[in-house]
């Protein structure tokens, strides 16, 4: 009798081969189906609530994927590519997930028929390279235009991004705002120079852009009411020190032999703070901001001298003021701006610095009904800001609305015919998968996708090439020239999406076995059990492995 060879620990779960690959593909397709309906201007939103009762409504692929809390190991890859798309280019997160899922869906019949996945991977990679070359070739540069013209074009890009969002109804309003904000920070790489502040209540249209910094009034002490709330051309002092009467006994130990000496210690404490305050006033500053607390003594002191002060200002806000007013926050910085004002915005008091000389910041104050609404609006604006920044940097755009996808698809189909061998089929499938974008745009808008796609195919097949920029017309359910309609996307969004989706699909195709180590699972189980105070959670049987 042959001895049994034990290679892996008892309880190890391995699944392998075709079955495993197919199960991974199914999982990925299922994830694709979740985000599918959010694509495009007519896409639906998802409401996700967790067991803690927090509710998020979103249309953003990356946000949805993050919140879904996917446990399937292969499907998790999609979460990662959505995230990376979000951080690399900021938009196209739904597109990337959808493409990856579709590539795999197209690969499935081949896998079932016993095609080796390496063959598929090789063809997919070739197709992806060809596709990206084509995108680059078709991209149109917006370089060399006047600033005004450029702004208009950028606003179109921003509007395209925003049209799929909850705030799509006001896309022109917000697009201009976003472009102004991005133009304000110039080519500075720090995205956080654009602040977004949310004030619930009011109307979307009440949102406004400050060409400088705005933040919510910080906690303040008595005496604050007497401080002036508006200045023209004030000097601004930014501090990183505490202006509070401190019991120095916390910092030092002092031994006294004579009780009368005690008074001198108290005096010293007062002198320290008065010394600091005097220096602030001497600097000529009219607005004093500090990252640390400004106590009641200081508040009153400043009030008596017609100086405005705010303590415990968030570091980001302080940095923005520094960038706007010129200078950097050290222990103290003196800057200036045209107007400083404390204003009522909805239910909140806001400190607003505008007309700053360095002018390298902007703050968007968002208004709108529910919390979830403003939060989604913020995410949407983030997408738009990223897009405009990308377009400023790379300054090439491609027609959206599925036009570019159809064009690449056509190109790949044509190319595949020149190939002999199985690879022809695979590249053809890749080309077919790209059509998912226009098809989904139609489906989500309630159009007849087959009809629209046929029209698009016919248009793109035209020899003259004049149909190359035709995409789905979201308003009529027909087709239209996306370029002429200013449905534009930065080329880099598409390039990145194709790249990432292909890589993810190839990665999943290259996995033919997953091994679950029982040890790592029981360690996880222990942690979970420990957190719930149930003690050890070991001794899991085989039946528990699949979740
Ligand atoms: P993603 O997260 O991938 O950016 P979106 O929901 O923002 O997904 O949808 C983007 C898609 O919608 C792009 O393919 C874009 O070309 C398309 N799109 C945006 N605006 C329009 C429009 N006005 N008409 C047709 N298609 C549009
Ligand atoms: Mg988008």
- Report the half-sphere exposure of 475 (CA within 13 A, side-chain side): 6
Q: Which of 485, 377, 400, 500 is nearest to 40 (CA)?
A: 400
Residue 175's CB is within 10 A of a number of other CB atoms, namely 25
232 is catalytic: no
Ligand nearest to the CA of 96: 1
List the beta bridge partners of residue 311.
Answer: none
Give the Cα separation of 366 and 426 in Å (integer): 48
By most ligand atoms within 8 Å of CB, the mutation choice from 161, 401, 477 for ligand 1 is: 401
Instruction: Quote the pLDDT of residue 532.
Output: 45
Tokens 């803690």 belong to 52
CA of 374 to the centre of ligand 2 (A): 17
- Report the half-sphere exposure of 126 (CA within 13 A, side-chain side): 18
Atom of ligand 1 at shortest distance to CA of 405? 14
pLDDT tens series, the chain, 547 aa: 777 777 777 766 677 788 888 989 999 999 999 999 999 888 888 898 888 888 888 888 888 888 888 888 888 899 999 999 988 888 889 999 999 999 999 999 999 998 998 999 999 999 999 999 999 998 888 777 777 888 888 888 888 888 878 888 888 899 999 888 888 877 666 667 788 888 888 888 888 888 888 888 888 777 788 888 888 888 888 887 777 776 655 666 777 788 777 787 778 778 878 888 888 888 888 888 888 888 888 888 888 888 888 888 888 888 888 877 765 555 555 667 778 888 888 788 888 888 777 667 888 888 887 888 888 888 888 888 887 887 777 778 899 899 999 999 999 999 999 988 889 999 999 999 999 999 999 999 999 999 999 999 999 998 887 888 899 998 888 899 988 887 888 888 899 999 999 999 999 999 888 777 776 555 555 544 444 443 333 333 333 444 4
Ligand nearest to the CA of 383: 2
Ligand nearest to the CA of 160: 1
Cβ < 6 A, ligand 1 pocket: 38-41, 43, 59, 61, 91-95, 160-161, 163-164, 400-401, 437, 441, 471-472, 474, 487, 489
Sorted by where each begins, the domain ranges of the chain are 13-141+399-513, 214-250+261-363
Give the Cα separation of 266 and 278 in Å (integer): 18
Atom of ligand 1 at shortest distance to CA of 43? 6
Compute the 3-state secondary structure of the chain and give helix, strand, coil in percent, each to the nearest 5.
50, 15, 30
Architecture of domain 214-250+261-363: 3-Layer(bba) Sandwich (3.50)
Which residues contact residue 126 at a Cβ distance below 8 angstroms, ignoring those fewer than 6 apart? 423, 427
Atom of ligand 1 at shortest distance to CA of 61? 2
Query: Residue 328 region, left (φ>0) first, then alpha (ψ -120 to 50), else beta?
Result: beta
Catalytic residue among 38, 45, 60, 126: 60
Instruction: Quote the pLDDT of residue 11.
Output: 67
CA of 449 to the centre of ligand 2 (A): 20
Ligand nearest to the CA of 86: 1
Task: Give me the helices (H) in 116-261, please.
Answer: 117-138, 147-162, 171-185
CA of 481 to the centre of ligand 1 (A): 14
CA of 99 to the centre of ligand 2 (A): 14
Q: Which two tokens stand for residue 12?
A: 């190890």
Give the Cα separation of 154 and 395 in Å (integer): 9
Of all protein residues, the one whose alpha carbon is nearest to atom 4 of ligand 1 is 92
Catalytic residue among 383, 443, 473, 481: 383
CA of 445 to the centre of ligand 2 (A): 16
Residue 330's CB is within 10 A of a number of other CB atoms, namely 10
By most ligand atoms within 8 Å of CB, the mutation choice from 35, 37, 39 for ligand 1 is: 39
Residue 511's CB is within 10 A of a number of other CB atoms, namely 15
Of all protein residues, the one whose alpha carbon is nearest to atom 11 of ligand 1 is 40
383 is catalytic: yes
Atom of ligand 1 at shortest distance to CA of 401? 26
Which class is 13-141+399-513 in CATH? mainly alpha
Burial of 526 (0-12, 13-18, 19+ CB in 10 A): middle
CA of 179 to the centre of ligand 1 (A): 19
Which residues contact residue 211 at a Cβ distance below 8 angstroms, ignoring those fewer than 6 apart? 180, 184, 354, 355, 356, 359, 362
């Amino acid at each position: 009798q042959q001895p049994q060879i034990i290679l892996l620990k008892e309880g190890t779960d391995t699944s392998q081969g075709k079955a495993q690959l197919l199960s991974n593909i199914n999982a990925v397709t299922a994830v694709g189906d979740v985000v599918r309906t959010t694509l495009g201007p007519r896409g639906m939103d998802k409401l996700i609530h967790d067991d803690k009762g927090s509710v998020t409504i979103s249309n953003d692929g990356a946000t949805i994927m993050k919140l879904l809390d996917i446990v399937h190991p292969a499907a998790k890859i999609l979460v990662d590519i959505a995230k990376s798309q979000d951080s690399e280019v900021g938009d196209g997160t739904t597109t990337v997930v959808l493409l990856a899922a579709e590539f795999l869906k197209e690969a499935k019949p081949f896998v079932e028929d016993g095609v080796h996945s390496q063959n598929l991977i090789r063809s997919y990679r070739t197709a992806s390279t060809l596709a990206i070359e084509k995108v680059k070739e078709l991209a149109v540069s917006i370089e060399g235009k006047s600033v005004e013209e450029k702004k208009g074009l950028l606003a179109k890009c921003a509007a395209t991004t925003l049209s799929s969002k909850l705030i799509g109804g006001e896309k022109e309003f917000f697009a201009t705002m976003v472009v102004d904000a991005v133009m304000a920070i110039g080519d500075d790489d720090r995205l956080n120079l654009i602040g977004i502040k949310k004030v619930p209540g009011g109307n979307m249209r009440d949102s406004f852009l400050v060409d400088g910094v705005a933040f919510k009034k910080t906690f303040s002490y008595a005496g604050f009411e007497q401080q002036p709330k508006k200045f023209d051309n004030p000097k601004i002092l930014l501090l990183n020190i505490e202006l509070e009467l401190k019991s120095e006994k916390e910092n030092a130990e002092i031994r006294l032999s004579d009780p009368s000496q005690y008074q001198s210690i108290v005096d010293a404490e007062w002198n320290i703070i008065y010394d600091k305050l005097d220096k602030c006033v001497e600097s000529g500053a009219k607005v004093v901001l500090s990252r640390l607390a400004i106590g009641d003594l200081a508040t009153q002191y400043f009030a008596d001298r017609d100086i405005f002060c705010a303590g415990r200002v968030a570091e980001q806000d302080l940095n923005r003021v520094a960038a706007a007013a010129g200078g950097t926050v050290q222990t103290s910085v003196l800057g200036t701006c045209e107007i400083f004002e404390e204003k009522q915005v909805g239910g909140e008091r806001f400190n607003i610095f505008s007309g700053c000389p360095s002018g390298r910041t902007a703050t968007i104050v968002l208004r709108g009904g529910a919390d979830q609404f403003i939060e989604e609006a913020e995410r949407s604006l983030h997408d738009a800001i990223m897009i405009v920044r990308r377009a400023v940097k790379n300054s090439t755009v491609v027609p959206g609305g599925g036009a570019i996808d159809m064009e690449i698809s056509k190109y790949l189909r044509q190319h595949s015919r020149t190939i002999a061998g199985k690879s022809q089929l695979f590249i053809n499938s890749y080309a077919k998968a790209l059509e998912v974008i226009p098809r989904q745009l139609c489906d989500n808008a309630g159009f007849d996708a087959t009809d629209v796609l046929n029209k698009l195919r016919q248009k793109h097949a035209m020899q003259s090439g004049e149909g190359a920029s035709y995409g789905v017309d979201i308003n009529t359910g027909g087709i239209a020239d996306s370029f002429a309609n200013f449905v534009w996307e930065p080329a880099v969004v598409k390039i990145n999406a194709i790249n990432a989706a292909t890589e993810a699909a190839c990665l999943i195709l290259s996995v033919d076995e997953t091994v679950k180590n029982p040890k790592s699972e029981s360690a996880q189980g222990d942690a979970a059990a420990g957190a719930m105070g149930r003690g050890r959670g070991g001794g899991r049987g085989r039946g528990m492995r699949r979740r």
